[in-house]
Chains A and B, each alone.
Chain A
Amino acid sequence: MFNTDVIARLALAALVFQSPYAALTLPRSIPGQMRIVEGASSYPLFFAMAVLSFVIVLDVTANILCPHRRCRLRILVGIRENLYIGCAFCTVVPLFSVSKWSVVDPAANYLYLVIFSIALALAWCDATAKTGSHRASTS
């Protein structure tokens, strides 16, 4: 049941949730700096990241981990790669914002680029799974 696919999706959800969490609790982190400088206009971004991570966990729980067919959420299977594209988008925005007026810490830059790469890789797996050329776990 807990294959690498599930672990990768849950790890991405945890990494994406790290950003709004850091924005609220760590003012010197990249999201924290963005929240301080941008103000209220950055709140939709962090809210979207929290929602995305929650929806990824919901997707994994309902469509992969739950053994019963009645708990399947087909709509989440349909928009799955869009969720990962959204995660990749939200990951780049704080870096872009902070890079305009400060030096981005190389370690933080590396972390966010890793999250971006994982999100794109998972989106690629789901997009190719839906074309039929490669069968990934969509059930």
Chain B
Amino acid sequence: MLAVISKSSYAESVNQSVFGSQLALLTWQTWRYVLLMSFLGCVTRVFIDLKAGRFRPTWAERVVDLTSIFVVGFASGFLAFVICEFINDRNAAPAEPRMLSDLVVCAAIFSAAINREALLVRVSDWIKSAPIPRPGGK
């Protein structure tokens, strides 16, 4: 309870907000650690690909590979953080302990930033499974 009160007063004192609910109480200093954790996941992905020799040979192709790793990694890390905080907001009253601890939230951000293929496969499956509108049909 004390943590929630101090968290609210701190966020009000710096007058920064990003989203609704508890996410609104988070400030830039929290978001920069989310970015740092996503960066760590992206760099780990680079190490994995480097060891496996997955980078393509020319410099232009390597730049494309690196850019895709970092763009998808940062986006998925950001999404993982928002989803985890959303779950914490929805499943616990302010005075109760949260459902996901900060260690679990960080692990989710890190693994989401690493797991590029799994995320892309899920998105492509979701796009493929979407019903295709037929002209003149239902």
Q: Which residues of A contact B (CB under 8 A)?
A: 34, 37-39, 41-42, 44-45, 81, 85, 88-89, 92-93, 95-97, 99-104, 116, 120, 123-124, 127-128, 130-131
Contacts and interface: CB of A to CB of B under 8 A. Distances in A.
5 contacts: A85-B47, A89-B40, A93-B103, A96-B30, A130-B51
Contact of B34 (A38, A96, A120, A127): A96
A120 B103 contact: no
Contacts of A100: 7, 25-26, 30, 102
B51 A131 contact: yes
B93 to A, nearest CB: 17
B51 A88 contact: no
User: What does DSSP make chain B's interface, helix, strand, loop or mixed?
Assistant: helix
Contacts of B6: 101-102
Interface size band for B: 20 to 34
Contacts of B29: 99, 103-104
A97 B105 CA distance: 10
B53 interface: yes
B40 A85 contact: yes
Given A42-B101, A131-B50, A131-B51, A116 B36 contact: yes
